[in-house]
Structure 1
Amino acid sequence: MQDDSIKDKALANRVSRLIVDAFNNLSVKSGKPGVRSNGVKEWTVLAGIAMIEIDETANYKVSPICFATGVKALPDKVRQYSQGSMVHDMHAEILTLRLFNWYLLKEMSLLIENDQYSSQIIEKCEDEAKFSLRENIELALYISEPPCGDASMTYIADEREPWQETKPEKRRKVDNEGTVLRGRANFDQLGKVRTKPGRADSLISLSKSCSDKLCMKQLIGINNCFTSYFMKDPIFIDYLVLPQSKACERDLTRCFYDRFQSKDHSVKYMKHIRCDDDGFEFQKPETCLSKVVPSQLSLLRVIPNGNTQVLNNGVKNGSFIKGKPPKPTGQSFICNEQFYLIAKTIANLGSFHYSSWKLQNHQRESLKEHGRSVLKYWPRTSIDDFQV
């Protein structure tokens, strides 16, 4: 799977440099890790998506589209009241995928509103009311750390202190199918679906690891239920860009390729390419004994239009209400309800319950079920529903 050619290394370095520079050059009052009042430094993970435009001579231009930071996930119980107004998974790479989908919806809306508008990434299909990715475009996903879960087990085992779970039978049981394999527990169990978060003493989230979610995206594409409704074909990540010093090819191959072989459906495997030291300032500490803590905040940025936001507890920073959904003004622009508000400017979606409407995309749902069967035990999160 790994290709250490000069071309791939140059591309990886170009992508990582653009994403890190976009983060470094963004001047914000809050959102970036800092130093707490007790002198303890914060760290986070940075992820971003870049667009690669390839011309007829095989030369390419790389443009960063979006980036996000974050390492948090909300407990599953929050879904009982969030009503589509909270972002549950705030790991950087998952936030980045949400940002990319938001950007797609905004571009679709602009194409509908203005016949003269030309999008750099998508275009309207001539024969139907759909959109497609422009020709000769590829996408790269950069992450400053290997994705949590199976793709990072060697890195975590070598560099961090594992949980001591000597009695696996005491792991949290969530249904009749099995038990949850969480975070950093049980290093000896490889090639398995894991859930966030990484702390043994945290409330259970049931949100699958970034490794598992990215693995599934190789089958269904990175479109969410809204953008997939409007796209003629799924969009896939072509390149996964990780730091050379942190990525273990054995883990990447096992996680994204070996355990996800499908005889019934085609899978668009990501190509793993490595970048040199990317210069990201707020790296995850090398050992768990380091006097640093994870940042509570996530910084979101859509680069082409400059949309920027800081998240805390799944809502706009400063808008969290314990045990309740935020006020409309406190919603993140990438929560599900805000996605719907943009989508309805593109087409009349009618009135529906979100949880039932997204199931109407039978092809996408069928692919998801197939992916879950290939990856084996896949604990379901509680329903986060709202009516429009």
Structure 2
Amino acid sequence: MTSIKTISMSNFIDNKRARGKKKTDEDPPCISPLPAPSELPTPSPSSQPPPTLPQYLPLWLRDPSLCVENGKSPISMLNELKPGLQYEHSEAGVCLFSKVMQFKTKVIVDGVEFEGIGKSKREAKTNVSCSALIYLYSKHSPIPDVVVDSNNTPDIRQFLSSISTLSVEKSNFIAQAVHDKLAELSALDTSIVHEQSFKVFAGLVLVRNEDFHSCQVIAISSGTKFIKGTEMNLRGFCVNDSHAEIICRRAFLFYVYRDLTRFLAGNRSQDIIVERDPCGRGLRLKDEYSVHLYINTPPCGDARVFHSSDNLKKDSEPDRHPNRLCRGQLRVKIEAGEGTIPCANSDCFLQTWDGVMGGERLKTMSCSDKLMRWNILGLQGSLLTHFIPPVYLSSIVLGSSFNFQHMKRAVFERLEPRMKEHSLTEPYKHHLPMLGKATSVHLSRGPSKSNNKSMNWILGEDIEVTNAMTGRQTSGLESRLCKAYFFRSFLHLINNKLPTWTGFDEYYCSYVEAKASAQEYKEARKQFHEACKELGPWIGKPCEMDHFENRDDIVT
């Protein structure tokens, strides 16, 4: 039987101390030695120094002190994965250096024996569980799709997906790329762009072939406000929500529409992110590209409302009150105000045009809720679904105030048990993006009042500044990110016969008709809203705002 020994962090003796040198503060903590995945399982000779833990391992596995998920210890995690394990406890003798009695725990997982040593039986059992979890993680790297074995046991991928973290190194690459681009834009026009004047800003980054060193920023945005009710428009000329994350996603829509137009014109260069799908029906995002979102602060709503009030000491510290009713509720932003309130506390669940025009305060769903929706429906929205499958965020990176528990709940976890009752059909899924914290950027945020301006920049385009309260450019012209602009781009592609997944080819239609004709998207959205009901009502804009046509000035 193959044996993989576990060495407790408190017991680990590196080569220096083995030669009698005094322990210093610089001695690195270490847990169980781990062979390379390609060599598993193999014995770990005691004569060899413990190998370095692979960097692809999540932080909670590389540091057992962080190995707590929703209050679950490594022991609980392993028992959930492999129920019925038998642990064998014994005394390991007195440690030569600490003169303290040591305990040893053994367990056999998938035919491999693991050992853990600690100052108590509990510590030894924790260490052996960490060692087994590391082995299982490495054994399944790269992680395959979720499968079920002959014993009906979920694959390790299903478990690990719930604790998905992006490495600090990769998070820093993404954050630094966005900050560098923002500094570059500031140098071009200091009167328009200045990083410190933005309370919230976001960036969208493309990574090709997992090369984070060469990641490319394709969009940057800022903003903390949304449109006044009296400024709403029935022809789609206004941007309704100008919060940074929302503007960044709309900038992505612009980027995709532009690439689809270039593809239609015969451009097949490498920098175009779309290609024909092999099945020949429509197009798709190229496999080598992944999309990553950076935000300098947690998104408003469920992710932000608890991160400071709980005063958690560590990013990974579990939520002390996960079952409080206020956790996970859908929340709305209120016109002419800052912050959010639960949708259930709202005085109006169904917004109407005449009601808002008559003085009711307009409400918009929080950014946390919209991020959660993107993890079901994708970034692309209903119109682009005619041309490409759903596009999901590979990661969300925060520049400050990061807490893994609150972010995971806000963008994914709160909907997980409910989505099981509302099955999604392909190509839609309940997607969990990796979550990351950037440490390479230093943000100083004091109390300040947000201004009404919103900025967006798109790769290959100039900076555009809009008034968030009117949803238009400061000059009064429509924004390139408004519904009308996108609908004209959509009709141009339809009129020029760009291949679609849906077979839609109706040029003479309204905006709402084009959206409704994306049947799979419509059904997935219905399932999403059904799953959300226990979290509160999803409050949408007045339906009259989507009943426009706007075929004027379309290039045919």
TM-score normalised to structure 2 length: 0.55
SS of alignment partner, residue 397 of structure 2: strand
CA distance in 2, matches of 1:200, 1:10: 32
CA distance in 1, matches of 2:411, 2:479: 30
CA distance in 2, matches of 1:155, 1:65: 29
Match of 1:378 among 528, 538, 543: 538
CA distance in 2, matches of 1:33, 1:378: 35
Structure 1: 5+ residue runs without aligned partners?
35-40, 160-186, 320-329
Per the TM alignment, residue 7 of structure 1 is displaced from its structure 2 partner at its CA by 7.2
The 1:7–1:214 alpha-carbon spacing in structure 2 relative to 1, beyond 3 Å, is: closer
Match of 2:343 in 1: none
Per the TM alignment, residue 101 of structure 1 is displaced from its structure 2 partner at its CA by 0.9
Match of 1:199 among 309, 325, 338: 338
Structure 2: 5+ residue runs without aligned partners?
1-56, 63-164, 312-323, 341-358, 496-505, 551-556
1:28 maps to 2:185:
no
The 1:258–1:125 alpha-carbon spacing in structure 2 relative to 1, beyond 3 Å, is: closer
Match of 1:271 in 2: 434
Match of 1:66 among 219, 222, 234: 219
Q: Which stretches of structure 1, 4 residues or longer, exceed 6 Å deviation after superposition?
A: 200-203
Match of 1:142 in 2: 294
Moved more, 85-94 or 134-143: 134-143
Match of 1:344 in 2: 491
Match of 2:517 among 360, 363, 371: 360
Q: Which amino acid aligns with 1:270?
A: P
The 1:102–1:275 alpha-carbon spacing in structure 2 relative to 1, beyond 3 Å, is: same
CA distance in 2, matches of 1:203, 1:29: 38
Please tell me whether Structure 1 or Structure 2 has the larger radius of gyration of its CA atoms.
2
CA deviation map 1:28-51 (0-9, x unaligned)? 2644369xxxxxx95421101111
The 1:96–1:336 alpha-carbon spacing in structure 2 relative to 1, beyond 3 Å, is: same
CA deviation map 1:13-63 (0-9, x unaligned)? 0101111111111122644369xxxxxx954211011111126xx776311
- The CA RMSD over aligned residues, in Å, is 2.7
CA distance in 1, matches of 2:510, 2:378: 24
Per the TM alignment, residue 236 of structure 1 is displaced from its structure 2 partner at its CA by 0.3
The 1:310–1:203 alpha-carbon spacing in structure 2 relative to 1, beyond 3 Å, is: farther
Greater relative contact order structure (CA < 8 Å, 6+ sep): 1
CA distance in 2, matches of 1:276, 1:82: 44
The 1:255–1:352 alpha-carbon spacing in structure 2 relative to 1, beyond 3 Å, is: same
Match of 1:315 in 2: 472
CA distance in 2, matches of 1:7, 1:380: 33
Q: Which amino acid aligns with 1:192?
A: Q
Match of 1:251 in 2: 406
The 1:33–1:73 alpha-carbon spacing in structure 2 relative to 1, beyond 3 Å, is: farther
Match of 1:333 among 464, 480, 487: 480
Q: Which amino acid aligns with 2:483?
A: N
SS of alignment partner, residue 87 of structure 1: coil
Moved more, 126-135 or 192-201: 192-201
1:44 maps to 2:181:
no
Match of 2:244 in 1: 92
The 1:200–1:223 alpha-carbon spacing in structure 2 relative to 1, beyond 3 Å, is: closer
Per the TM alignment, residue 257 of structure 1 is displaced from its structure 2 partner at its CA by 2.8
Q: Which amino acid aligns with 2:286?
A: R
CA distance in 2, matches of 1:108, 1:372: 30
1:19 maps to 2:166:
no
